[in-house]
Homo-oligomer: A and B are copies of this chain.
Amino acid sequence: MTSEPANAKPPLRVGIAGYAFMGAVHSQAWRNAGRFFDLPVEPRLQVLCGRNRANAEAAAAKMGWAEVETDVERLIARDDIDVIDVCTPGDSHADIAIAALEAGKHVLCEKPLANTVAEAEAMVKAAEAARARGVRSMVAFNYRRVPALALARRMVADGRIGDIRHVRAVYLQDWITDPEAPLGWRLQKERAGSGALGDIGAHIIDATQYLTGQQISGVSALTETFVKERPLPADSGGAVSDLAGASAGAARGPVTVDDAALWTARFSGGAIGSFEATRFAAGRKNAMRVELNGSKGSLAFDFEAMNELWFHDHTEDAEYAGFRRILATEPGHPYAGAWWPPGHGLGYEHTFVHEIRDFATAIGEGTDPEPSFADGLRVGRVLAAVESSAANDSRFTPIAEAS
């Protein structure tokens, strides 16, 4: 009782599926969103769902969930749950999300929305049907909620950089540079769908479409798997087995996903773009970078310095112009006013707190949160086009419009 706010807001009872990396950070977000933002509902961390009861109970205790379920169908069937938060690997997203929507639960689904376009299409269909009944859905592209990137979006929408000509986006990591890093589920096609492409490439696809307000209309791509075979993990039971921390076993298996993906793109509004997603950029830990060049200015961002947005105003006298470092911590910056004084930066998890803030607010106010499942499908179509182009001599591959 002690840490609950004493107000009369309607509760929003959440059930979460999965408790590894994404589950942990979503839990933190559900616990904290109401402390810093004035939500129309009161989130309750009701049920954590995981197959192994002992592990799930330990996780629930650690992360603050009241109860545990070991079967996701039972979770969905519960009357006392309003929201299903899907934090499982991509191959299970469609089943869980569709069942939850059909059961009238609002759904927050981790990215990528699904491992295949067909699954994503089915999810969009389910989301649209549910929407007609007032049920909300959102896909969890958390980078939209980095204050610096939300500010960038606002500046683009305000016309501050004019017509966008160039998009330059990379997502660089190095956690499997070592050929002996174990072959976790993220390196297995049947679980993860794709490799760097779907895991981190999906983020820069969504982010650039969001920032520019344009859709990617076609891509030309090249993918590579540098290390073809890796040791299988010694133990896959732990909560962080999807990450580099897992230890390697003696047996080896084939890597069935891309280690890196490169693509060029055209955008619906005339911009052209260059993209790269890799887990082999030694020394780059989480370099999700975007630069936009427009007719009136430019914007640049690097998640490794996530509180900074770099802005060049090309309408100024060239003698006094240059890229400036805006610390995205001013009271008027998106999300920032709820936190600390200027210059007192935020961290990775705050992007999820902001996500929950927006999701819970939309539910409470009866509006549609963004990015929608349709946005997630759009990203999925680009991912599919990248893979298709890469398999087809890098030929330029237009993005199919939604049917």
| Chain A interface residues (CB < 8 Å from chain B) | 1-7, 21, 25, 27-28, 31-32, 35, 44-46, 60-66, 151, 155, 161, 165-166, 168, 170, 172-175, 177, 179, 220-222, 224, 226, 243-245, 260, 262-264, 266, 270, 272-274, 276, 278, 280-287, 291, 293-298, 303-308, 311-312, 314, 318-327, 329-333, 339-350, 389, 393-396
Contact = CB atoms under 8 A, between A and B. Distances in A.
Given A274-B262, A276-B274, A281 B166 contact: yes
Nearest to A226: B165
B4 A2 contact: yes
A326 B322 contact: yes
A298 B282 contact: yes
A348 B346 contact: yes
B161 A272 contact: no
Contact of A46 (B2, B245, B287): B2
Contacts of A291: 281
23 contacts: A1-B4, A3-B4, A7-B61, A31-B31, A35-B62, A35-B63, A174-B293, A175-B341, A220-B220, A222-B266, A244-B342, A282-B293, A283-B293, A283-B297, A283-B321, A283-B322, A284-B343, A285-B327, A305-B307, A306-B345, A319-B333, A322-B326, A394-B396
B278 A166 contact: yes
Given A35-B62, A262-B264, 12 more contacts: A5-B61, A6-B61, A21-B340, A173-B343, A175-B341, A222-B396, A278-B293, A283-B323, A324-B324, A339-B347, A346-B348, A395-B396
Contacts of A332: 318-319
